[in-house]
A and B are shown apart, each in its own frame.
Chain A
Amino acid sequence: MKPATGVVRTAFTLSMLLFCAWMLVDSFSLSRTAALIPLAVISGSLGLLALQFLLDLIASRKEAALNGTDQDPHDPDLATGAQPDRRIMFFRAVFWVSLLAFVVWGLGLVAGSALFSLAFLRGHTRESWAYCIVYALGLALTLSLLFFVLLNVPPYAGAVFHCQ
Chain B
Amino acid sequence: MGWILLTVILLGQGLSSGVTASDSVCTELQGERIRWIVPSRAGGGYDRYSRLIQPFLEQRLKANIVIDNRPEAGGIVGAMAIRDAGPDARTLGVINASGLLAAAATRQVQVPDPSRDFTVLAKVVSNRMFVFTGRDSGFENIHDLVEHSTRNPVIAGIRDVGSASFLALPITASLIDLDFVTVTGYVGNTNRVLALIRGEIDLIIQNFDSVRPYVDSGELLPLLDVTGTGAGAAGPVTMLGGPSGLAAKTAMKNQRPVQEAVRKAAALSAIVSAGRLVVAPGKLPQPLGDCLQAQLMSMLTSEEFLNAASKAGLTIDAADAESALSNLEASRESLAEFNRLVQKQIEQVRK
Contacts and interface: CB of A to CB of B under 8 A. Distances in A.
A and B touch in the complex (CB under 8 A): yes
Size category of the A interface is 10 to 19
Contacts, number: 24
B351 A162 contact: no
B66 A154 contact: yes
B336 interface: no
Contacts of A163: 90
Contacts of B85: 164
A32 B350 contact: yes
B66 A150 contact: no
A149 B350 CA distance: 50
Nearest to B68: A154
B351 A149 contact: no
A162 B3 contact: no
Contacts of B350: 31-34
Nearest to A149: B1
B64 to A, nearest CB: 8
Contacts of B143: none
B3 A152 contact: yes
B1 A152 contact: yes
Interface in A110-164: 149-154, 162-164
Contacts of A34: 350
Contacts of B90: 163
Given A149-B1, A163-B90, A164-B85, A154 B351 contact: no
Given A33-B349, A34-B350, A152 B86 contact: no
A154 B349 contact: no
Interface of B: 1-3, 33, 35, 66, 68, 85-86, 90, 349-351
24 contacts: A31-B350, A31-B351, A32-B350, A32-B351, A33-B349, A33-B350, A33-B351, A34-B350, A149-B1, A149-B2, A150-B1, A150-B2, A151-B1, A152-B1, A152-B3, A152-B66, A153-B66, A154-B33, A154-B35, A154-B66, A154-B68, A162-B86, A163-B90, A164-B85
Interface of A: 31-34, 149-154, 162-164
Q: What are the nearest 7 A-B pairs in CB distance?
A: A31-B350, A152-B1, A32-B351, A154-B66, A150-B2, A33-B350, A33-B351
